[in-house]
Each structure stands twice: as structure tokens, then as C-alpha cells.
Amino acid sequence: MKIDCTIDGKTLTLSLNSDKPLSLILRENMGDDGAVNHCNGEMCGLCTVLVDGKAMLSCMVPAFEIRGKTVTTFDSFRRTRNMKDIEKAYESVGRYPCTECYASRSLIFESLIDEGITDPGEILKELSIVRCPCMDPEDEIMIVRRGIEIRRKRNVQRPQLA
């Protein structure tokens, strides 16, 4: 089937099997070497991407689900102003994800900050898709709350860039 979508800012029409996992599309069709399957599915969380701003496991998203949607990988997200907000939140709290889960956790933090989610239960539920045990849950909650404050402050200062 043909699927129209946007991946890392590129508007694409892809011809592929409708069930092909997004993680494989990123690797085989987009040449994203970082998008490898790390587990047999839903076990590690290291394949996380943003789909229309929401953090999702790319190994569990079939091709047909990205039709008309915008996919953002960490490779493009890392260069954005939004990532700078998250880096500031890490710095402010004094805690950082380890190198293995840095990309996935940062994308989930972005999804939570973008939605303005402050409820500890919701924050930890979203972050639980990454199984790496490198972070303390209390620190994760603080990072999201701090990130929301930093984002709001930036948007108030520069509304035209929000």
C-alpha cells in the first residue's frame, strides 16, 4: 500500500506492506541505523519515537498507523529548541538518563511536557515503556514538572516562536 507521512520533516509517499513496523521503515526506508529492534517487542522501550507528538514504541506501530502523521526520531528532535528545554530540566534537577536510554527517555519527556502532564501516576506510566532502570521515579517527575515550567516561560517570552 501507499502511505503518505512526514518523517523528520520530510514529506514522503512510501510503498510498503501495511503491517511493516515503523522501526523497520526507519531503518530500511529511511536509512536510520539507530532505529534497530533492541528486543522482541515492548520489552526495552529503546525504539521510542514521536508520532504526532506522542511517544510511541516504533517496533509496535504498523505502517498503516502512520498514514497522514508526523514521525519524529531523536535524530532530528535533538536539534530542536524543545530538546534544549529538556536539557535545561535535566541540568536543573541534576539528573540525566544514561546513554543507552537518553534518546527514548528524552522523547517521552517531550511528549509529557508538550501535553503539560503533571500527575505523577501518568508521568510514571508513560515513562514505564522504557525499561532501563537508570533513573529514580521522583527525579523523572521533577524533570517533567521543571520542563513544563521552562517551556511555559520560553513561550511567554517568545510567543511568536511557540
Q: Catalog residues that contact ligand FES under the rule CB under 6 A.
A: 37-39, 41-47, 57, 59
Torsion of CA 139, 143, 145, 148, to 10 degrees: -170
Query: Are 109 and 147 spatial neighbours (Cβ–Cβ below 8 Å)?
Result: yes
Nearest distance from C-beta of residue 42 to ligand FES, angstroms: 5
Nearer to ligand FES, 44 or 127 (CB): 44
Nearest distance from C-beta of residue 60 to ligand FES, angstroms: 6
Q: 87, 81, 89, 97: which is closest to 144 by C-alpha? A: 89
Q: 132, 145, 116: which is closest to 48 by C-alpha? A: 132
Nearer to ligand FES, 47 or 127 (CB): 47
Nearer to ligand FES, 39 or 162 (CB): 39
Distance, in Å, from the CA atom of 117 to the CA atom of 143, rounded to the nearest integer, reads 12
Give the nearest residue (CB) to ligand FES: 59
Nearest distance from C-beta of residue 132 to ligand FES, angstroms: 11
Nearer to ligand FES, 88 or 131 (CB): 131
